[in-house]
Amino acid sequence: MRCLKAFGDRTAARRPDSQTAEIQIRVALINRFNALGTAEIVRVA
């Protein structure tokens, strides 16, 4: 939940289905940011 609050404390949508979509978008963004920040491990030998 701490990461979701980085995008705002509350959801802007009022309807439950719109809230679900908004949270799914936030989670997708967090996952994308984590993927960009993760180091890529390459085997050398």
What are the tens digits of pLDDT across the range 22-39? 889 888 988 888 888 888
**Structural domain boundaries, residue 17:** 2-37
Say how many domains are in the chain.
1
- Decide if 45 is inside a domain: no
Residue 43 forms part of a structural domain: no
Residue 42 domain flag: no
Residue 41: the pLDDT is 84
For residue 4, is pLDDT > 80?
no
Q: How many other CB atoms are there within 10 angstroms of residue 3's CB atom?
A: 13
Given a cut of 60, is residue 44 above it in pLDDT? yes
DSSP 26-41: HHHHHHHHHHHHSPPP
Mean pLDDT of the chain: 82
In a domain, 16, yes or no: yes
Is 44 domain-assigned?
A: no
The answer, yes or no, to whether residue 14 has pLDDT greater than 80, is: yes
